[in-house]
Structures are given as structure tokens and as C-alpha cells.
Structure 1
Amino acid sequence: MDYWTKFPAPDSLEEQSLKIEKPEKGHLPLINGHLHTPYSFSAFASAEQAIDLAAKENIKVAGINDFNTVNGYADWAKACLAHGIAPLFNIEMIGLNTEDQAQNLRVNDPSNPGRTYISGKGLSTNPLPDDVKNWLNIAVNKSNGQCEKMTQLLNNHLKANKAPFVLNFNEIYEQLTLGQVRERHIARALRLKVEETFPSEQEQMHFYKQITGEEISVSDPAIVENTLRGALLKAGGPAFIAEDPNAFADVDTIRNLILKAKGIPTYPFLGDALNGKCTDFEEELEITMKKLNERGFYSVEFITTRNSLSYLEETVPKLWNNGFLVTFGTEHNTAAMEPLVPKAKGGVALSENLLWINFQSVSIILAHQYLTAKTGYGWLDPTSGIPNMENKDKFIKIGWSIINSA
């Protein structure tokens, strides 16, 4: 699958880009750089649905960002091509920094010191190197094995509560996933089985109370699934299984996997999502930026619905001015179908300055994808992973040309 065959050679596109004026503030294209699909877990039934809804909201750039898989890239490219949307090809993984863990430092997982969510932006759409492909396959198999054990424990809990059914892991795998089972699939399978077994809402609520001890309103499927996941599958729940700390690669290994896949290692900020507070790792921005550079990260992202506008306006320009790409997304990795245009917490619109930084950063990633596909060289030095800052404006113009030509 090579999305980039529709575009001219680099010299031609670069010449074309010189004739295009950058958009002005107030007229920027709408962008969502982080969306999950059913290849991990998603609010969407398919990549086509995600892109169709994005087009209806007038989004011009959309990024697929599934956990541990690039299997959705072909579907994403096809849907984007059909709707005139420029695609970003991303991935998300989880690593562990043992030094942070030893110091009990929370990074961007508020519950697990040292554990670090990492995105790769702008991966190659060519076949992955064998070692990257093998690592991802192992990660998915481990996730599936973990969820199969959780399903067994959940069935034990259902039997103990005299439920008239149990769940079948193979059915969950075959009917609800595209190859990767996550906790949210188990919660969804349970909700669907309850609705199938108990026709009335009253019966459903009674059964949920029986197995969780909680009053659960059944009016919103997303809330039902989130509540079931929290009560039954998370720490303290009857189907919880502690993750093996040895199952996580170290952060540097994940960064190198992303570089091998021609992507840009990216740190997802949690920001002020913890009741207005940041994690230990993020609370002093100057120190955070220094540590990220030391760890080889020159790109960050925000799921902006977690963060206050004031926090974003204070933080994002500092990151951009210190050489970081900064992109925004919404994830959509729960059952809740929310708007796709990124906004701050509470549905507050992002400022033009924030959107301008996001636009420039995404343009660079689009140019990186295109140039890597056409020439083998992109935004990062292939050996050091250092960004090509001296050609920043050129990359932005090429990216803007790609958006215009999509």
C-alpha cells in the first residue's frame, strides 16, 4: 500500500509548494492527529466511518493512531483518498522507564510510575522491518493472552453470581475485534450479553448491581462499558490481572522501533488532566523538555479534551519554541462518540495560536511521510533522530501542498 504514488516527485512538489501561500490564522484547516480504529478499540465501526464523520466536520488531516498495530493503514489511506483528507500514519505503544519507576515518578500513566505511553508519528506505509513487525505481533499476542485470562476470571465471577451465561473469548475475538482484544472489548461483550439476556432495562440494572455492587444507568452504552471495565477488570475487580512488568519494553527500545519504522517518536502529554495537576514528570516544563530531549524525543502531542485552555496556551507555545512538534487529537478510544474537532476541556475552542502551532507541526509530519516514502529521508536524521530544523519552513510548505492536493 503506497498512498504517496498520487503525488509528484519531490522536486515538483517542492516547486509547487513555493507558489502556495501559507494559510492565515482564522483560515486554518481542521486537523485531528490521533484517532483509534477497531484495529485496537474505537468509537467507530470502521476506518471508513471515522473518515466519513471527519469529512462531515470539515477535517482536512486525520491521523490513525492504534495500539501496537499498523494493520489499519490501508483502510485509512483508502478512506482518506475517497474523502480528500490527508492521512497521518501513526502508532501508539507503552514502554517502561525503570529509573522513573525506581523513583516512583509518574510519567504519563497516572497510576503506574515509570510506565510511559509513546506515539510514533508519520510511519512509513511500506512493509515494516521484520524486527519491528515481530515485536508488534508479540505485543498483540500478549495483550490477547492477558484478555483471555481476564475473560476466564470474569466467567468465574459470573458463575459465582449465578449468571445465566458466560462469555466466549473466541467469539469476542472473532465478532468484536480486528485481531486485537483489549479490556474494553470484554466490557462491550458483557454489556451486549446482558442486553441479549435481559430484555428490560430494570432487569439489566438489577443484574449489573448484582455483579458490580454499583447502580448503573443503562441509558448510555459508553458509560455502562466504562463502569463495567472499572468495577470488574481494573485493580480491585474480580477479573483483574496485574500486568507483568517484564512485558514492557524500555522507552529507548520503543523509540528505536519507531525510528526503524521511519516514524517520529512522540511523547503524549497528560497535562493538567489530574484535577488541574500534572504528573511528577510533567510538573516542571523546563525539566520535562530537557529530559525528553535527553531521551530522544522532539515531538509531543495532547489529547486536548483532557486539558484546560489556559494550560494549553501556557504550555504549547513553550514546547514549539523549544523545537518540539506539537499535535492535537481526540483518541476516540472509548465507546463514546464525541465530536472530532479537537477542543479543550469542557468543549472550549482552541485559540488561533494553538491551531497555528498544530497546523505547522502536522504539515512537517505530512512532509516527513512523503519525503521518507520518496527519498528515504525525512524530518529526523536517520542515525541520530535529531530533527532537520534548518529546513523547517520547507517542510511546512510541502505539508501544506499535500493538504491542498489530498
Structure 2
Amino acid sequence: MYLLKEYPSKEELLERRKGVFGIHEVNAHVHTPYSFSAFTDITQIFEMARKEKVKVVGINDFYVTDGYEPFYEEAIKAKVFPLFNMESICLMREEQQRQIRVNDPNNPGRCYFSAKGLDYPFRLSPPLKKKLSAVIAETQVQVKAMIQKCNEWLKQCNAPFFLDYETIKKNLAKELVRERHLAKAIRIAVWESEATDEGRLALLKKIYGGKESKTGVKNIPALENEIRSMLLKAGGAAFVPEDENAFMSLEEVMRIYLDAGGIPCYPVLLDDARGNFTEYEADYEKLFHELSRRGIGCIELIPGRNDLKILTDFVRFFKEKKFVILFGTEHNAPEMIPLTCDTRGNVPLTEELRKINYEGACVVAAHQYLRARGEEGFIYPCGHPKTDKQAEFIELGHVVIEKWIQ
């Protein structure tokens, strides 16, 4: 039984509210081992949440929701409010033809796109479930082709190991096998094949086609990223391009999210370390109009990528436009970082940004609560967000979160 279904009515909850509410730490975007994650298991997420006093955490895996049940169970134990989210990769073909980068800095037209506050348990209408399953299957076709090419290269290099899809899926991936899992599997195989640093470096040099490792073997997350770059990315011996026909359009992804009860949410890349923006995001006003015309009223950012001043200016602009705004850390790379959101260079979020993030989480919490009770959430039947009612959702979401975490 979903706990939110047993909560009192909206009116009863709001009656219990006392005075001005404080704000809680929120991380609205973490990946789990069900796609790829720095975390070894979901329990670890909530152990970190307790230590860092993060009170709201959102699961945000690629394409799959298999982690929802253990995430929910751990959230109850930890008294941390769970946000049920998802992420997909879609293709905006018009932008691709015009060579416009959206939120992938390396691939024009490629767009990462999330949903917040999906129904729990997750459910989809049969046609859309079939579509999503086909996309998931296609991602694994590419991974298997990559493993085959990798094994051909390893054989050519006389490496003392090979990769196996089923073994990787069983030992390293809960559900989807992704490119990062292959890099990790290669690193583990190198470790198992050679016991010394010298031997490992020599084997890596062989696998790299005679090139020395620049990261060395002490920093494992950096090494796994290097393996991925050297072998699995474009130009690498095991690189396999993705089939563009397998990508859904943004409109198809939004239909899936809305059918599953979610709030469509655009992940903003914003500035890189050199202060550069993608063409799609460089003009805030144009981005606002582009998202609005598509019925998108929610954005999320990974502040650790961004300069504090640029982030603040951007968030203020979209807050004024009544967008729901959320922050997260992803944790979809090998390196383990804190669960608490901060900005580039480990500069903490300001109180203003923390409040905006918490208010965004309150909107999603209220949406989940209302949907669990069979009521209409933050999305109108037409698919557009209730931006005019955001204050009501913030107030309701706060009391929902407070009840959960007490």
C-alpha cells in the first residue's frame, strides 16, 4: 500500500500547518544501480541522506522504474520523502538538422528529458509500455554490439579476459547495462588479471593500443572514465554508434510521462567550465518561450556543473516566469560525491537557491499526494502545468513532506 493513499484529506493536512515553514535539503535527481550509479545499492543513498540531513530525494533512472519499490521501502525507513522520477534520451530532429545543441554538448539535437512525480506503482497504457520497452531493448542491442567489438579488440591485444553481457548485468547492473558498466567491467578484469600497479598499467597500455594511462591506477573513478573514453567513445576500438531511428521524439517521451502521471521536466545544462552554453540554452528568453510552447513548466539543474552567479541569475529568471525548479547531483558517474547539492568548485547553494529547490520539491510532493488519492495533480488534463496554482501546491507539498519525515 502506497503510504500517501492513507494520508488525511488535503483540508485536514493544511489545518495542521503551523506558522511559517522552514526548508529542507533536497536532491531531486539521483541515479541508482538500476541504470548506472556511484552507489552500490539503494540503501547507501539513504544512509548518506541521513548523514547529510537531506530530507527529500528523487530517484531518476534512465528509462526504467524497477528501483521504485526498494527506493520507496528505504525512504519509509529513513523518513526521507521519495520523488518518483525518470529520465530518457530523445532526439529533436529539427534541432539536429540545424546543428543546434540542446542539453548534450557533443550531439546536436540530442536531448535528455526527465519526468517528476510519476505515479507509484508505475503504470503505462499498453501501446506506450510497448514503445518504452522497445526503446529499452534497443539500448541493449547497442551495448551487446559494443561488447562484441570490445572482445574482438581484447583478443587482438592478447588481453587475458573478455566481457560477457549476462555476467555484467548480473554483477554490476540491476537492470540496464550501460556504457559505464562496460568500463567498470574492464577495470575490474584488469585488477583481477594483474595484482601489481605495474602489471595493471602494462595491461592498460596494451588495451589502449600502446598508449600510456594518463590517470594511473590510484584514482579508480578517473580510470574508469579514461577506459570509457579510450575504448567506448567515438574513435575508440569498441565504439558503436547509436541508431538514431531508435530514439523517441520529445513529443513521444512527453506522452509517456504524462500517461504515467508525471510532470515533464527539462534538464538544463547551463554553463560549462569555460562559460559556454549550448545554442538551445544561450538565450534565456528564447528557452523560456520554447519550453512554454511545448507545455513544459518545470526545469532541473545539476548545480555542481555551474557557476554560482550564472546559476542564480538563470534560476531567478525562470522563477519569475513561475517555473518549478529542482536541483540534483545525478551520481551517474563512478566518483562518489556528497548528496547535498552545491555549485561548481564545491561552492554551497545560497539560502535563496535552497528555498527555490525545496519549493520545487513541495510541488512534486503535492502532485504525488493528489495523484495517489485519485485526484488531479499539477498537470491539467490538456498536459500543461498549473503554474497559476503553484503557491497552493507548495503549501500542500510542505505539509505532506513534514508528515512523512516526522
TM-score by length of 1: 0.96
CA RMSD of superposed structures (Å): 1.3
Shift of 1:274: 5.3
C-alpha contact 1:109 1:117 (8 A) present in aligned 2: yes
Partner of 1:323: 322
Question: Which residue identity does 1:91 align to in structure 2?
Answer: M
Partner of 1:87: 82
How far apart in 2 are the matches of 1:210 and 1:43?
Answer: 27
Partner of 1:197: 193
1:188-235: per-residue Cα shift (whole Å, max 9, x none)? 111111101100011101111221223241112111111100110000
Partner of 2:14: 14
How far apart in 2 are the matches of 1:168 and 1:229?
Answer: 17
Q: How many residues align?
A: 400
TM-score by length of 2: 0.96
Q: Which moved more, 1:39-48 or 1:121-130?
A: 121-130
Please give the residue correspondences for 1:101-116 in structure 2 after superposition, counting only pairs within 5 Å: 101-116=96-111
Where structure 2 has 5 or more consecutive residues not aligned to the other structure, the ranges are none
Shift of 1:23: 2.7
Q: 1:274 to 1:293 in 2, by over 3 A?
A: farther
Partner of 2:386: 388
Shift of 1:146: 0.9
Partner of 2:146: 150
Question: Which residue identity does 2:182 align to in structure 1?
Answer: I
Q: 1:109 to 1:367 in 2, by over 3 A?
A: same
Shift of 1:134: 2.4
How far apart in 1 are the matches of 2:289 and 2:20?
Answer: 31
How far apart in 1 are the matches of 2:6 and 2:77?
Answer: 13
Tell me the secondary structure at the aligned position of residue 380 of structure 1.
Answer: coil
How far apart in 2 are the matches of 1:313 and 1:194?
Answer: 44
How far apart in 1 are the matches of 2:32 and 2:69?
Answer: 12
C-alpha contact 2:66 2:175 (8 A) present in aligned 1: no
Shift of 1:54: 1.1
Q: Which moved more, 1:346-355 or 1:211-220?
A: 211-220
C-alpha contact 1:105 1:280 (8 A) present in aligned 2: yes
How far apart in 1 are the matches of 2:142 and 2:273?
Answer: 28
C-alpha contact 1:106 1:279 (8 A) present in aligned 2: yes
Q: Which moved more, 1:209-218 or 1:37-46?
A: 209-218
1:54-110: per-residue Cα shift (whole Å, max 9, x none)? 111100000000000111111111111001111100000011111111111000011
Identity among equivalent pairs (%): 37
Please give the residue correspondences for 1:244-323 in structure 2 after superposition, counting only pairs within 5 Å: 244-273=243-272, 275-323=274-322
How far apart in 2 are the matches of 1:33 and 1:265?
Answer: 14
Please give the residue correspondences for 1:30-49 in structure 2 after superposition, counting only pairs within 5 Å: 30-49=25-44
Where structure 1 has 5 or more consecutive residues not aligned to the other structure, the ranges are none
How far apart in 1 are the matches of 2:273 and 2:248?
Answer: 26
Tell me the secondary structure at the aligned position of residue 271 of structure 1.
Answer: coil
C-alpha contact 1:122 1:366 (8 A) present in aligned 2: yes
C-alpha contact 2:303 2:341 (8 A) present in aligned 1: yes
Aligned partner (choices 123, 129, 135) of residue 131 of structure 2:
135
How far apart in 2 are the matches of 1:274 and 1:140?
Answer: 32
Tell me the secondary structure at the aligned position of residue 109 of structure 1.
Answer: coil
Q: 1:330 to 1:109 in 2, by over 3 A?
A: same
Partner of 1:349: 348
